[in-house]
Amino acid sequence: MPDQHNGPPTAPNPASPTDKTTADGPSASRPRVLILGGTSEARELAGSLPAFAVITSLAGRTSSPLLPAGEVRIGGFGGADGLAAYLRTQHIDVLVDATHPFAATISGNAAEAAGSAGVPLIVLRRPGWTEQAGDVWHRVRDLREAASLLPQLGHRVFLTTGRQGIAAFAEVDAWFLARSVEPPEPPMPGRLEVLLDRGPFTLAGERRLLAGHRIDVLVSKDSGGPGAKLVAARESGLPVVMVDRPPTPATAHTVVCVAEAVERLTTLRDAR
Ligand code: NAP
């Protein structure tokens, strides 16, 4: 079926207004869902919707992304207006924002575009982390505040804020182990070791990293998810600088897991 292939990523391919109604077989009547992706939940959701025609959109930040089931398009839309135009020309019935909790710009664009195109929006956001007994957390509003706290908290830092977050620490006088999927670009701290890796990470592996590099402070975004690094830090009594999430657009229908997203999509489909 043309809308359920697993091949290489395709460039945006605006459909003609007749594409929706002339498709062959059951896809002709399946609601069209655009998933804004880049997360494991987005991939899982794309593989959980046999009753829908699914397109996943990726920003194109990583050179070899893990591809979800269904159709994939890669690259920006050109702001909220571009996304709204895509929703219209592709006859999208529901938009799912399953992007990372820190991808605030695309989430804002999704809310605006869904509103102007009259397309229902579901936001799929995994819950953030909660401090537990034994944790020594310092919550901060952003990366800049995290950088300003560091010299007091430790001098061998495990930085897990992703490639784009490393620049905020360029002027901090400390040694950094930074983990990211893609190599970071300047500006970067002078004393930096880069570890290119992609999760999920095991507790045993995180323990080895902390001990092997004599880490004395961990910096993390409040991304949510398994969080083995937080367990390892807790066990070692290490301080954690935890960067708060940006706010979610207030108007969206928010769900916290893939099963809830499937349920909501099914409800919207049945109400058509
Ligand atoms: P962002 O700052 O919110 O978005 C910047 C621009 O990138 C957007 O305005 C949009 O360009 C484009 N874009 C972002 N996500 C897109 C998507 N799924 N499909 C098409 N275009 C997209 O985003 P970011 O923080 O750089 O994150 C980029 C991607 O990486 C997201 O999809 C996110 O899920 C994933 N990710 C982010 C993080 C993180 O910590 N931020 C971590 C893991 C994964 P146009 O305005 O031109 O449409």
pLDDT in tens, 41-55: 999 999 999 999 999
pLDDT in tens, 115-164: 999 999 999 999 999 999 999 999 999 999 999 999 899 999 999 999 99
Contact yes or no for 58/39 (Cβ under 8 A)? no
- Its pTM stands at 0.90
Contact yes or no for 62/183 (Cβ under 8 A)? no
pLDDT in tens, 170-180: 999 999 999 99
pLDDT in tens, 178-210: 999 999 999 999 999 999 999 999 999 999 999
**Probe ligand 1: pick from 58, 73, 92, 106, max atoms within 8 Å of CB?**
106
Q: Is the four-CA dihedral 207, 210, 216, 222 of positive or negative sign?
A: negative
- 36 alpha carbon – ligand 1 mean position (Å): 9
Contact yes or no for 153/171 (Cβ under 8 A)? no
**Probe ligand 1: pick from 99, 160, 201, max atoms within 8 Å of CB?**
99
Ordered structural domains, the chain, with CATH: 21-127+247-270 (3.40.50.720), 136-243 (3.40.50.1000)
| Spatial distance between the Cα atoms of 109 and 10, rounded to a whole number of angstroms | 22
Amino acid at 209: L
Residues, the chain: 272
Residue 178's SS3 state is strand
